[in-house]
Structure 1
Amino acid sequence: MRLSTGIRITLWASLLLLAIVSLRWMTAMPGSSASDSLPAASELELTLAQELEADVRALAEEIGERNMHRPGTLEQAADWLEERLQAIGHEPRRQRYELSGAGMARYAGETADNLVVEIPGESRPDEIVVVGAHYDTVPGSPGANDNASAVAVLLALAEYFHDKPQVRTLRFVAFVNEEPPFYMTSDMGSHAHARQSREAGDNIVAMMSMDGLGFFSDQPGSQHYPAPGIGLAYPDTASFIGFVTRMRDRRLLRKALGAFREAASIPSEGAAMPGFIRGVGWSDHWSFWQQGYPAFLVTDTLPFRDPHYHRSTDTPDRLDYERMARVTVGLKAVVRTLAE
C-alpha cells in the first residue's frame, strides 16, 4: 500500500524530531564549557606544562617508536615508566601477561607488561577507580600525541595523588599493546588487566581512559566528527577536550565532565553515544566494557583533528603543553570526584 504524501511527510518529520531529541539527550552535559578566550596560564600550569613536555620528549624522542615490531622498545619504555613512578614516590608493579596470538599469531606465547600503582582508599578501599593510558605506538610513529601526551598526564596525576589518599582506591595503569595489531583483541594490555580484575573480583566502579591529549587548533574547520549530524551539536574548531562513552555509562560521564568544568580553564565537550559509532570505543576503555565495568574516554579526538595521527610526524614539537596542563588541572578534579 502506497502512503499518501501527507503521511510520508508526517513520518519523516517524526523521524527527524526523534533524531533531534536523541542527539540532545546524548550531548546534554552539566555545567558550562570554558570560553575559547583562555585566561593567562597560572604559575602552576606553566610549571606543569614544562614537566609534561619533558615526559613526552623522553618517550617520543629519546625512546621513540614503542611496540613489539621493534624488539626491546616496549621494555625500554616500561623501564623508564618504572623509574619515573618510583621517583614520584610510588612502588609500581609489573603486570606481565602472555599473548594468545589473537592480535597476531606470530606473537603467541610472548609476554608484555602493564605498569600499575595503587593508592588504597581510606574508607572504601574495595571500590576502585582506574585511570589509564597506553604507552605503545603504531609501527613507524614516535607517538608524541598518541599516546605519550596521555602518559605524561597519567604520571602527573599519579604524582599529585601519591600522598593524597581518597575515599576509594586509586589505580593508575600504563597499558601496553593498545595499538594494532592488538587493538580490540584479548592481547591488549588493558584487556588483560580488565580480565584479570574481573577474575579477581575487583570492584572497579569507574575507569577513565586517556588517549591523545595534546593537539589543539584555533582554526575554523579544524575539528571533524565520525558521523553526519553530530557536528551540529559541537564546535568546528579543535580547541576543546572531549569526554566520550557509550550510552549505558552516560551518568558516569556527566559526573566526570561536570567536575572537569568546575575546575578547568579549557573548553570541553561530552557525548554518550551508541557504542557502534566510530570513535566511541576507540581506546582502552573498550576493554573494561567487555568485562562489564563502567568506563569513558578523555581525548582530543585524535584522527578527527590531528593530521599527524599514526604518522612518523607525530612529534613533540607540535603539541600544546600549556593546554595539556589546563586539561591536567581539570582531570585532577575528575579523579577526586570519582574517588569520593
Structure 2
Amino acid sequence: MELRQAGYAPHRQPIQGVPGVFNIEAMLEPANGDAPTLVIGAHYDGYGTTPGANDNGSGTAATLELARALSDLRGRSRFRLRFAFFANEEPPYFQTAHMGSLTYAKALAAGRESTLGMISLETIGFYSDAKGSQHYPFPLSALYPDTGNFIAFVGMTSSHPFIRATVAAFRRKAAFPSVGGSAPGFVQGIDWSDHWAFAQVGMPALMITDTAPFRYRYYHSEADTPDRLDYDRMARVVDGMERVVRAWARKGAL
C-alpha cells in the first residue's frame, strides 16, 4: 500500500521451492532506459517467532522510506533504482538456494542488467554512547571504536571500492559517526545479510548495519521489540543515505 501511494507498481517474485513466499520489488525508472541500476534492499522476515523490530523491521522501514523520499526522481534519475524486500534471509534459509536475495540476484544477473551495486539495510536501529558497548569479531577489535554510537558500512573484500565510495559519500552528506571496511567472508559477521547473495553473482554489495549481535543484546530474541530502537538516530542514517543516493542519481555515478 505504501509503495503504491508513492507512485510505484510493486510486484512479487516467487521463491522457487518455497510455495507462498515472495520477494517484493518496486522500481524507479531512470531518464534513460539504458542507465545502470542501483539496488537498495532489506529482508522483511524475522528470526523464528521473535518480534524482529531491529532485525529487520528497522531495515525494512528504512527501505520503504527511501523509496518514498526518492520517488520524485522517477524519470529524472541517471540510474535505475530497484527497491527490494527479501524473504528467507533468516535460518533455515540463510545462505541457501532458497534465500530470497539469492533468487533476486541471480535473476538480475541473468538479465545482464548493468548494476552499480547493492545496498543492504540490516538491523540499523540501536545505538549506545556507553564506552564498551561495541564489540567485534577478531581481528577487527583492534581497529574500530568500542562505543556503539556509529553506523557501519561493511562487506567482503571484492566490494572494497564500492564500500569506500559509499562511506565517503555518506560522510560528506551526513554529520553522523560512521565506520567502513571490508574483510574476507570468513570473518564472523561480514557476510551476515543479503549483500552476500549479490557477491555470489559478482556484483558489488555492502551492508549498512548497527552491527547487530556485536552491539545489540536483544538480537534474535523475544526482546527485539520496538521500544529498544533509537528512532532519531535511525532517521538520521536514512536521511544521510537519501542525500547520498540523490547526489549519485544526479550525476549517474558513485
Give the alignment's TM-score, normalised by structure 2.
0.94
Shift of 1:336: 2.9
Superposed displacement of residue 337, structure 1: 4.5
Match of 2:134 in 1: 223
- Cα distance per residue 1:246-287 (max 9 Å; x no partner): 122111111111111111122000011112111111100100
Task: Indicate if the aligned counterparts of 1:285 and 1:296 stay in contact, CA closer than 8 A.
Answer: yes
Once residues 273 and 124 of structure 1 are traced to their aligned partners in structure 2, the CA distance between those partners, rounded to angstroms, is 35
Q: Deviations over 1:208-239 (max 9, x none)?
A: 011001001111111000113x2222110100
**Kept after mapping to 1: 8 A contact 2:44/2:85:** yes
Higher mean alpha-carbon deviation, 170-179 vs 120-129, is at 120-129
Structure number, greater radius of gyration: 1
Alignment counterpart, residue 67 of structure 2, candidates 144, 158, 181? 158
Note the alpha carbon deviations across 1:297-328, whole angstroms, 9 max, x for none: 10000010000000000000010000001101
- Secondary structure of residue in 2 paired with 1:242: strand
1:136-151 to 2 correspondences below 5 Å: 136-151=45-60
Q: 3-state DSSP class of the match of 1:206? A: strand
Match of 1:183 in 2: 94
Among 275, 294, 298, the residue aligned to 2:208? 298
Q: Percent identity?
A: 43
Q: Does 1:89 align with 2:27?
A: no
Q: Where do 1:207-286 residues align within 5 Å?
A: 207-228=118-139, 230-286=140-196
Tell me if structure 1 keeps the 8 A contact 2:35–2:78.
Answer: no
Unmatched tracts of structure 2, length 5 or more = none
CA RMSD in angstroms, aligned pairs only: 1.3
Q: Give, in whole Å, the separation in 1 of the partners of 2:123 and 2:33.
A: 31
Partner of 1:20: none
Report the count of equivalent residues. Answer: 248
Unaligned runs of 5+ in 1: 1-82, 100-108
Amino acid at match of 1:137: G
**Cα distance, 1:196 vs. partner?**
1.0
AA aligned to 1:141 is T
1:38-80 CA-partner distances (Å, limit 9, x unpaired) = xxxxxxxxxxxxxxxxxxxxxxxxxxxxxxxxxxxxxxxxxxx
| Structure 2 residue 26 is matched with structure 1 residue 117 | yes
What TM-score comes out, normalization by structure 1 length?
0.71
Q: 1:244 to 1:338 in 2, by over 3 A?
A: farther
Alignment of 1:311 with 2:229, yes or no, is no
Higher normalized helix content (fraction of residues): 1
**SS of corresponding position for 2:189:** coil
Q: Report SS of the residue matched to 2:13.
A: strand
| Structural mapping, 1:27-38, within 5 Å | none
Q: Is the 8 A contact 2:162 2:204 kept in 1?
A: yes
> Contact 1:241–1:327 (CA<8 Å) still a contact in 2?
yes
Change (3 A) 1:161 1:227: same
Cα drift, residue 129 of structure 1: 0.3
Measure, in 2, the Cα distance between the counterparts of 1:276 and 1:248. Answer: 13
Question: What is the alpha-carbon distance in structure 1 between the residues aligned to residue 24 and residue 187 of structure 2?
Answer: 30
Could you tell me which residue of structure 2 aligns to residue 173 of structure 1?
84
SS of 2:116's equivalent in the other structure is strand
